[in-house]
Chains A and B, each alone.
Chain A
Amino acid sequence: MKAFETFHPIVLFAFFVAAVGLSMFFMHPVYLAITIFSAISLNIALRRQLFFKDWKLYVPLFFLMAIINPLISHNGQLVLLYINGNALTVEAIMYGLAIATMIVAVMLWFSCYNVVMTSDKFIYLFGKVSPALSLTLSISLRLVPRFRHQLTQIIQAQKVIGMDYTAGSLWHRIKCIVRILSILITWALENAIDTADSMKARGYGVKKRTAFSLFIFERRDGIALTIIMLLFVTNLAASFLGTTTFYFYPTFGTIKWDIGSLLFYSSYFLLLSIPLAIEIREAFKWRSLKSTM
């Protein structure tokens, strides 16, 4: 088990809201560099093989995103050339690259989110906001694999009576698919009555439900959450003070390198590298534990 994911769900969720939210918001080149760097590092730490597979998807996506902007936007002062009377500008190209970086960074953060925030953690958090809906979600999550299994049973049974959805004309296939779905729906709805009875039998609706969970909020969760909050507020402050602002149009703004800006940049970097720092710290701890054993 990785270290970061053992933190309380609220800590994990807060981190990803901060990381994704701020990444979407800041188009400043330094901020973009920080977020894409942190996102890649965390991906390598958490999902090594999967991440290297994903590149095949991300690289073309990046370039596609980057190309679109200069095609639709002709703002900017540094004109490279004219195509059909439309200007192709350096600003538009750079803005395209910035957008592409931002999107890929957000996707990378989400791929970490998908590893770390497993369904039970989300259900737990969601349950704090909306217990009934969170229960509905939990039921639905349980039903999906069950329905898939039943679906394969139905597909086989239907194949034997000549309703094979993988063969024959398109119309035949569609008819088979509808038939298979229809069988599944009847089965699912009739069985659901039992499930509803089982809920009632166990007192559902008798009192206001409490939400039990195996998650315990430890001291370290409190510390981590405080740090995330503080750094998040610092970055919001940076945004209000204008440190995070960078103009691409009409032409590029300037990147500031004064002490204040550098401090704000570092606060962003600190915030986004929290999970990686936790992973590294844990790795060292285990190494020293092993050596003393």
Chain B
Amino acid sequence: MALVKIDNVSFTYPNETSPVLKNIHVTIQQGEFIVLIGQSGCGKSTLLRHFKRELQPHGEMAGQIFYKGCDLQQLNAEVAAADIGYVFQNPDNQIVTDKVWHELAFGLESLGLDSVTIRRRVAEMANFFGIQKWFHQKTTALSGGQKQLLNLASIMVMQPKLLLLDEPTSQLDPIAALEFIQTLHRLNKELGITIILIEHRLEEVLPLADRVLIMDSGEILFDGLPRDILMTLPKEHAMITALPAATKIFHRLNGVGSIPLTIREGQRWLHNQQVTPADMSPTISYNDTAIAVEAKDVAFRYEKNGQDIVYHFNLQVKEQEFLTIIGGNGTGKSTVLAILAGLQKPYRGKVTLFNKALKSYSNKQLYQQFLTLLPQDPKTLFVQKTVRQELEDMARLHKVTEANMQKTIQLFHLTHLLNRHPYDLSGGEQQKLALAKLLLIEPKILLLDEPTKGLDAHAKEELAEILKDLQAKGMTIIMVTHDIEFSAQYSSRCALFFDGSIVSEDEPRAFYSGNNFYTTAAHRISRELLSNAITCEDVVTLCQKTFV
């Protein structure tokens, strides 16, 4: 018997005319690892919530859902709560209590279990997840990755049969994300837990999946093995860009045979093609333009007796450059941006802006004419009830003309969103709105703090286009990010931040082909044959040359 059977389910939100889900049929077998993908707004989250009775959205539903042959609506409340677990996107939001041990026990307390049972189950899970070390800590003291593992563990104590996860790694850094995904893999392999996962990181997730579901405007477009995606999907479908690098290269070069998913498979496949070694020319550099921002021997710490977060920090950014600073989590990259933006004052060293000390600018001058900073959380900028009011609010503060505002709305494709509440937008749309709001004042320098966090492939592309456009118009862009692929593909210079300072910097092709581990998937696939191809695009271009 199937674990879950979704039988002809359609769903429409209140006050909406068109349904989000249209006649969905899916059967889930016990022990499957299923990845559910699709562009934002395709209805994948809505579908996932239908598997969990307590979270089914309000609206009009047709069709039936069966869990182990029993109608989900009729299922016993305790079984429904315990058997089906749900992990949300934001690790912070789902933590309820203030202590790790209490959080682990929360679900079991709700089911009314006695202390002895709870103690045992909590101990078991703490061991499985390696939580012993932070068992007594406050939940606020944990890192993002730890928080998400805690969320998973506090569901696992309830001994679920089915785990549902809605983009659980989107707020995590790459290392924590990988650890989380590996834990999921372990749960599936070692305990046989059935998993349905919505995820953007297909590079890591697709090779683990037994089955992939692709949704498109409320329908299931594809339901099958990961390796069969290319055969079914229309050649130009938007989801292609989200696929792993190996698959994309294979696809673009019209490969035949078994479709590669992992780096290793990609390498193997590429070796079997007759590729002659070749180089790409370096990315355009901006050596001739004037210096926009310069930091000399900057040192900074938060407290007098604290540790230096930034020290021996030197950086030169030329006008019209697009610099990405990459580096590990919590190393102080965001602090660097705050220093460059004049929000934090270094205790030693000097920051200059257009050859004038940053200190000598008044805040008004600085933030109205010269620079702006896109914060990591765009929501810290939203005050109003609609997108239009958000922009008008900023326009009023800085006396921006109506014409300029209209221009920005066009540039950022916000016209169809003007009457929406900022919190009802998708992550990508929120990012665009925040950026649009900040750019109304037309600064010369744009600082961005992890703008690609939580964005899907499509939203990233859209952001990149906007940034490219701004750069072409003369803006200098400095971006801090974990996103190696984005950095390689779009920036004009890359820098590695480690232990308080910049340890290496170069134009992207030289930078990423010089790194062995900290480099793009495309480079890892092609390194043996092509010396400096760092994006799928590069690999495809060079290969096509040799094929001809």
Q: Which residues of A contact B (CB under 8 A)?
A: 119-120, 123, 135, 138-139, 141-142, 145-146, 150, 153-154, 156-164, 167, 179, 182-183, 186-187, 190-192, 194-195, 197-214
- Judging by beta carbons under 8 Å apart, are A142 and B139 in contact? yes
For residue A148, give the distance in angstroms from its CB to the closest CB of chain B.
9
For residue B10, give the distance in angstroms from its CB to the closest CB of chain A.
23
A162/B398 contact (C-beta < 8 A), A142-B95, A191-B92 known: yes
Give A167 to B92 CA distance when docked, in angstroms.
32
- Judging by beta carbons under 8 Å apart, are B397 and A203 in contact? no
- Judging by beta carbons under 8 Å apart, are B110 and A159 in contact? no
A206/B96 contact (C-beta < 8 A), A183-B382, A197-B55, A212-B118 known: no
- Judging by beta carbons under 8 Å apart, are A145 and B97 in contact? no
For residue B469, give the distance in angstroms from its CB to the closest CB of chain A.
22
Q: Is the interface of A mostly helix, strand, loop or mixed?
A: helix
- Judging by beta carbons under 8 Å apart, are B102 and A209 in contact? no
- Judging by beta carbons under 8 Å apart, are A146 and B92 in contact? yes
> Using a Cβ cutoff of 8 Å, how many contacts connect chains A and B?
169
A195/B94 contact (C-beta < 8 A), A202-B106, A206-B110 known: yes
- Judging by beta carbons under 8 Å apart, are B77 and A160 in contact? no
For residue A174, give the distance in angstroms from its CB to the closest CB of chain B.
15
- CB-defined contacts of A210 to chain B, threshold 8 Å: 108-109, 112-115, 118
- Judging by beta carbons under 8 Å apart, are B102 and A197 in contact? no
Q: Which residues of B contact A (CB under 8 A)?
A: 52, 54-55, 77-78, 81-82, 85-86, 88, 90, 92-99, 101-102, 105-115, 118-119, 122, 138-140, 151, 154-155, 158, 338, 341, 343, 363-364, 367-368, 372-373, 375-377, 379-383, 394, 397-398, 423, 437-438
- CB-defined contacts of A145 to chain B, threshold 8 Å: 138, 140
Give A201 to B107 CA distance when docked, in angstroms.
9
Q: State which of A150, A156, A157, A212 has its C-beta within 8 Å of the C-beta of B109.
A: A212
- CB-defined contacts of A150 to chain B, threshold 8 Å: 377, 380
- Judging by beta carbons under 8 Å apart, are A194 and B88 in contact? yes
A161/B109 contact (C-beta < 8 A), A202-B155, A203-B78 known: no
Give A290 to B441 CA distance when docked, in angstroms.
69
Give A123 to B82 CA distance when docked, in angstroms.
25
- CB-defined contacts of A138 to chain B, threshold 8 Å: 96-98, 102
- Judging by beta carbons under 8 Å apart, are A153 and B380 in contact? yes
- Most B Cβ at <10 Å: residue of A135, A182, A198, A207: A198
Give A205 to B155 CA distance when docked, in angstroms.
16
Give A195 to B106 CA distance when docked, in angstroms.
13
Which B-chain residue is minimally distant from A202 (CB atoms)? B107
- Judging by beta carbons under 8 Å apart, are B78 and A207 in contact? yes
Q: State which of B107, B122, B341 has its C-beta within 8 Å of the C-beta of A160.
A: B341
- Judging by beta carbons under 8 Å apart, are B93 and A163 in contact? no
- Most A Cβ at <10 Å: residue of B92, B110, B397: B110
Give A183 to B385 CA distance when docked, in angstroms.
11
Give A179 to B394 CA distance when docked, in angstroms.
13
- Judging by beta carbons under 8 Å apart, are A198 and B98 in contact? no
- Judging by beta carbons under 8 Å apart, are B85 and A201 in contact? yes
Known interface pairs A135-B96, A160-B372; 19 further A-B residue pairs with C-beta atoms within 8 A, sorted by A's residue number: A138-B102, A139-B98, A153-B375, A159-B367, A161-B397, A162-B364, A162-B367, A197-B94, A198-B95, A198-B96, A201-B52, A201-B86, A202-B154, A203-B81, A210-B108, A210-B112, A210-B115, A211-B109, A213-B115
- Judging by beta carbons under 8 Å apart, are B379 and A120 in contact? no
- CB-defined contacts of A135 to chain B, threshold 8 Å: 96-97
- CB-defined contacts of B118 to chain A, threshold 8 Å: 210, 212
Give A101 to B128 CA distance when docked, in angstroms.
55
- Judging by beta carbons under 8 Å apart, are B96 and A201 in contact? no
Give A159 to B379 CA distance when docked, in angstroms.
14
- CB-defined contacts of B85 to chain A, threshold 8 Å: 201
Give A37 to B324 CA distance when docked, in angstroms.
63
